[in-house]
Structure 1
Amino acid sequence: MKKETFLAFVALFLLTLTSVVYALEETTKTVTIAEQKADITGDRELDTILLKGVPYQDETDYLKQIFLEVSASNGTAYTIPLESGAKASFQLVDMNDDGVKDLFSSVQTGGSGGIVLSYLHSLKDNVLVDLPVPDPVEIDSHFLNGYQAEIKIKQTGKTYRFLLKDRKSYYKKLGLYYKGKLNEPTELMVNSYHSLKPITLKDGKLGLKGVQRVAGIANADTIAYVESTWAYLNGKWKLDNVKVLEKDQ
């Protein structure tokens, strides 16, 4: 191959590659989910908060990228990446009680589990700090003979038992029980947070309320919900209260 012909081929290849990259960039669409203006740095000036997402081309109800963009009043820009998911939202709440509102954002992961991922960020004095959110309540769980189930909350030591005879035929059909006895030891499905939201606690301060689903052999086989409330004290989350609710309540 002559030198001139080779160079022309290389130039054509690079041009084609550039066109493909440009075309891909053109099809990447960023959508704004929510926008709000508020002082979240403490300088008494308005900052702009944008919640954005990038959907899949063939699945517009799911976002492959989700992130917060903050344009502070002093000209500084911040990008806070979140996990991908089906839906996202944010609230402005002074969760750490420092006099400046924080960013509390949530992402619904989608699917039958109904799991929500939550994030808490502070931008006081234009310093981005990733604050923790409380871990889900630790729960030991298992089925019992006689079409029953039991859970134990590790933090409180309390045990709760559930009668499941209304699911007798369903469990027998799946081979979980035989003549009322378990075929083998089986744990329940204890999910992470189904929801986690800011609430006002009894002392008037802000806290968080989480809800976890406890299911039998599938997420649709809901047995109970565990509600937990949390107070933020000295930079750490303290469990305030736990309530267990049966599905039909």
Structure 2
Amino acid sequence: MKKEFGLVLIALFFLSLNNTFTAVYALDKDGKEVVLIEEKADISGDGKEDTIFLKGIPYEEGASYLKEIFLQITGSNGKSERVELEGGYEPGVTFVDLNHDDIEDMLISIPSGGSGGMTNYSLFTYKDFQLKEIAPPDPLTITSQFLDQYQAKITIENTGQSYNFDLKSRKNDYDRLGIYQNGKLNEPRELMVDPYSTLKPVKINDNSYGLKAIQQISGAYHADGIAFIESTWNYENGKWLLLDTKVMERKQRVKR
């Protein structure tokens, strides 16, 4: 009798564990993949809803970092497509028509973590049940350098525009770090130019959407933010066209 009672307790224990894992992780049958997002939208253009999943495999049990992330689509025709994405944290998906074919595309964001606040972006279309990737616009090409007397300069090569920054308020920090001595640069040094930290849909006219992107410019380290560079893009004839750029300096005044 004691043996049978013990077996019942053991069975109940493992059953409770199984229920807990199912509720918390929503695991697939293989016990590895986590269903992160499940959405329904007409992304094929047939007027019926398709099912969109984002799934991931945690680096280890309980970890928030996902070493593998997948986009999986089950079309209204019953067929499935699947593609592997970059690893990262807490992916998201936005449905918006960016290639102007009157069918919503999928803009997927995957934060990579770290002090720079980087996020990887992917863009997919599923028109006529064909999964195709559209490369997002490349980050702006920006050259940069520190100048003597606690100044800095950037040039946006895409537009030819240059901007100067007065960094005298950071003198003590830069002297301590050995970047300057008596107002002179110790050696040539560039600023830190990040890729996109943000890429989000924006309405560019009454009928269509484009993308607004933000890149950060930093000085001696990432937390030493100098400016944000905002760019607006539109997808036309199979390529991204730059519509506008804006420089938003942090704390100091931009001099053109």
What is the TM-score when the length of structure 2 is the normalising length?
0.84
> What is the CA distance between 1:32 and its match in structure 2?
1.8
Q: 1:228 aligns with which of 219, 231, 235?
A: 231
C-alpha distance after superposition, 1:112-138 (max 9, x if no partner): 111111111111111111112100001
Residue 177 of structure 2 is aligned to residue 174 of structure 1: yes
> Identity of paired residues, percent?
47
- 2:64 aligns with 61
Structure 1 runs of 4+ with >2 Å offset: 25-29
* Letter in structure 2 aligned against 1:135: D
8 Å contact from structure 1 (residues 49, 68) kept in 2: yes
- Gaps spanning 5+ residues in structure 1: where? 1-24
Alignment of 1:33-112 (within 5 A): 33-57=36-60, 60-112=63-115
- 2:7 aligns with none
- 2:218 aligns with 215
8 Å contact from structure 1 (residues 104, 118) kept in 2: yes
Alignment of 1:65-214 (within 5 A): 65-202=68-205, 204-214=207-217
SS of the aligned residue for 1:125 comes to helix
| 2-structure distance, mates of 1:36, 1:56 | 24
Residues 26 and 206 (structure 1), Cα distance of their counterparts in 2 relative to 1, 3 Å cut: closer
| 1-structure distance, mates of 2:251, 2:49 | 46
Residues 58 and 215 (structure 1), Cα distance of their counterparts in 2 relative to 1, 3 Å cut: farther
> What is the CA distance between 1:247 and its match in structure 2?
1.4
- Gaps spanning 5+ residues in structure 2: where? 1-27
| 2-structure distance, mates of 1:198, 1:166 | 36
Residues 122 and 27 (structure 1), Cα distance of their counterparts in 2 relative to 1, 3 Å cut: closer
8 Å contact from structure 1 (residues 93, 104) kept in 2: yes
C-alpha distance after superposition, 1:38-68 (max 9, x if no partner): 1111111111001111111156121101111
RMSD of aligned alpha carbons: 1.7
> What is the CA distance between 1:168 and its match in structure 2?
0.5
SS of the aligned residue for 2:170 comes to helix
| 1-structure distance, mates of 2:90, 2:131 | 24
Residues 227 and 76 (structure 1), Cα distance of their counterparts in 2 relative to 1, 3 Å cut: same
8 Å contact from structure 1 (residues 214, 223) kept in 2: yes
C-alpha distance after superposition, 1:119-161 (max 9, x if no partner): 1111111111111210000100000000011100001111111
| 1-structure distance, mates of 2:157, 2:206 | 25
* Letter in structure 2 aligned against 1:102: D
What is the TM-score when the length of structure 1 is the normalising length?
0.86
SS of the aligned residue for 2:174 comes to helix
| 2-structure distance, mates of 1:100, 1:164 | 47
* Letter in structure 1 aligned against 2:203: T
